[in-house]
Amino acid sequence: MVVLWESKEVVKIGYEVTTLEREKAYMEEKNLELKTEISALRSPQKILQRLEDMGLELIPPEKGNLKDSPNMASNSKVTHGR
C-alpha cells in the first residue's frame, strides 16, 4: 500500500516538474521578448519618432546659448550641516 502511494507521488511530482519546466521556458522566452522591446524603445530613432509624433523636434542649441545655470552650480555643493 505504501509503495503504491509513493509511486503515485512520484508520478504527480514528475508532472509538476514538467509543468514548471514549461512555465520556466515560457518566462525565459517572454523575458527575451521584453528585453528586445526595451532595447528598441530606447533606440535614438524610436525616441526621435515619438518626439515627432508629439509634434516636438530636437534642434541643436545656438552657439553661446549654453550657460551654466547658477542653480546647478549651487546645488552641486554638498553642505555638511552648516
State residue 64's pLDDT score. Answer: 75
Q: What percent of the chain has pLDDT over 90?
A: 56
Q: What are the sequence ranges of the domains in the chain?
A: 21-54
pLDDT digits (tens, 9 = 90+) for 48-68: 999 999 999 888 878 777 666
The C-alpha atoms of residue 30 and residue 22 are separated, in whole angstroms, by 12
Of 66, 67, 48, 50, residue with least CA distance to 58: 48
> Predicted confidence band at 2 (pLDDT cuts at 50, 70, 90)?
low
Grid coordinates belonging to 54 = 508629439
Between 28 and 70, the more confident residue is 28
User: Is residue 74 scored above 70 in pLDDT?
Assistant: no
State residue 46's pLDDT score. Answer: 92
Contact between 51 and 58 (Cβ < 8 Å):
yes
